[in-house]
Structure 1
């Protein structure tokens, strides 16, 4: 969707630092409430896409707004986790490597799962519309997390990541992360506010896009505006005592309820409602959630939701296409109820298994290898 009223894909749920890179940055505070909210937002994105992909856009009709929360949260937690280390000399290249270690294992797996689906269509169904050469090229682009601007509709065009449409936001996450680290010498409250103002002003002029070729560049104002809103929150907490006041936590639950109502309203809301939510409510959710303290079962449930958020986001399309094809092959027909009833638990269960058996082990191994290969560079950022 390239107009002002909706988006087809949302931002990465696994935006923050994780256990694979905490050893080379200072320990960050644990924001349990924000972890839980990140997981709920990722599930809302899953429902949003299940509705759109199956012709029922009323399902979580406005959950595409989660893109703004994800990027705002990313700007905030990366500032908390890395800003001091970057100021002490961590190279931009080292930071980029750590972010790629965090994001790329699931990007690679998602690309391979989708590519395998299209390859199966070639082999089993002899689909003449799918070119082996084009599929090979799309797979290479996806594995490198680079946009492909000439994909045919047969493999998922005109989306810039035809094998996994939501991957475009992961690409934008990498872009804004590296830009932030590279420009850290001019990073401050004033520059963050200027970028936020410019980003949201451009969004008001050109709308929201990024997933398709025709609107690809319009994704940049949104990601930079939302990300630097989180960066601005970090600087505001550092410079203004009222922003550090724990009483902000009382806003969290009312804002969460309002946002849930907005996300699940069965009709698409106007561009300006979403724009206002993004500019005002999303940063307030991050600010208030950072002050909320959870304990016991609620804290443990939030941790699970936070851990699931990135696999659910990064893999929900590749997993869906296999589930969708399998049940239609068995039943011989398409059903929204059956498709959603299978895809929702299927994505959640598969995401959990992949998190435990692929994502976490691969990131641990990559981090260990980096420390062995260049321990001083990884530890000190030089």
Structure 2
């Protein structure tokens, strides 16, 4: 396997996908005409495939050697939990301010949801819609990501290429089945579509695993430095989320989203893994990768907190100033992601790695995924 642990172009694609998700969940901050990207929900499927690809690169050999399942899961929690916790705390503050503004008291159900969500576990099926994570609903994908990670550690990393291909094929059938059942691809955030979220995560993650194994098998591992290709791949990725400005009122059918998630994104990632930016473009691509996870896990809590603070302090809704409020929101999230990574996530992970990660595993604990 290739010795370099960094896939800078893939990091950039992850950042572009995070931007699409922010505009999707930002909703009317960007205007009342509809979402900025009409297929932004597919960013999550891109995340899953990227995760499978990168984690195979970082951990497969070690899981087949001497890295235990418990140690691997501990590393993944150290990687994901600090920023998740920050998002939960921001969301909790927004909920507390909203309760204060309405002069109402919290409920037992809200308290149970708070405890479970703080532990990165889904809350009971309450509310409408019954989100798995009431305090930060995009966290559903992190929950399913951890399930896929556990399956990878338990058996996925040890499958032969043929076994892995069959497994991914079965997962593809499962994903198609749930998509047909719900006649939708927007699956996973609520209890009603729990099976759909699991199918999306498992297929995406293990498709990424298979991509890496095929890349390694057929020696498709050489790196080519090309800013032109990196920019083109970034533009193609952004275009797959289908910008409304170019498409008007047309909305992509579920079948097209399925094709993107199952065929286009794997091909895109396989190609993007071969290209790297030069020194001129490297800082931007690296920053997109660094900021992507923080932006994803913080943007909904910050949207909630910003909205309630604006209403309580000056009596306005942020949506009244769209689309300028949306552009400002992106800038705030970008800066917050950088600050959270530098002053919160990295120090906490360094501390946890020093105290909790086994000495033999410390080198891999910083792998980005």
TM-score (norm 2): 0.86
**Paired residue secondary structure (2:334):** helix
Aligned to 1:286: 269
Q: Please state if 1:269 is matched with 2:252.
A: yes
Mapping for residues 225-304 of structure 1, pairs under 5 Å? 225-241=203-219, 243-244=220-221, 255-266=233-244, 267-304=250-287
Provide Cα deviations, 1:58-117, integer angstroms capped at 9, x if missing partner.
Answer: 311112111121111111111111111111121001000000000011111111211111
Could you tell me which residue of structure 2 aligns to residue 36 of structure 1? 12
* Distance 1:332-1:276 versus aligned 2 partners, 3 A rule: same
**2:247 paired residue number:** none
Distance 2:49 2:99 in 1: 41
Unpaired runs of at least 5, structure 2: 180-184, 245-249
Considering Cα pairs closer than 8 Å and 6+ residues apart, tell me whether 1 or 2 has the greater RCO.
Answer: 2
- 8 Å CA contact retained: 1:94, 1:378: no
Aligned to 2:117: 142
The CA RMSD measured in Å over matched residues stands at: 2.6
- Residue pairs, 1:15-164, within 5 angstroms: 28-51=4-27, 56-127=33-104, 131-153=106-128, 157-164=129-136
Question: For residues 285-321 of structure 1, what are the alpha-carbon distances to aligned partners after superposition, in whole Å with 9 as ceiling and x for unaligned?
Answer: 2111111121223011111111000000011100011
Q: How is 1:313-324 mapped onto 2 (pairs within 5 angstroms)?
A: 313-324=296-307
SS in 1 for 2:136: coil
**Long gaps (5+) in structure 1:** 1-25
In structure 2, distance between residues paired with 1:247 and 1:301? 18
What TM-score do the two structures reach when normalised by structure 1?
A: 0.83
Alpha-carbon separation, structure 2, partners of 1:321 and 1:194 = 43
- Match for residue 316 of structure 2? 332
Equivalent residue for 2:182?
none
Q: Which residue of 1 aligns with 2:170?
A: 198
Q: 1:312 to 1:144 in 2, by over 3 A?
A: same
Asked whether the 8 Å contact 2:132–2:190 carries over to 1, the reply is yes
Shift of the alpha carbon at 1:280? 1.6
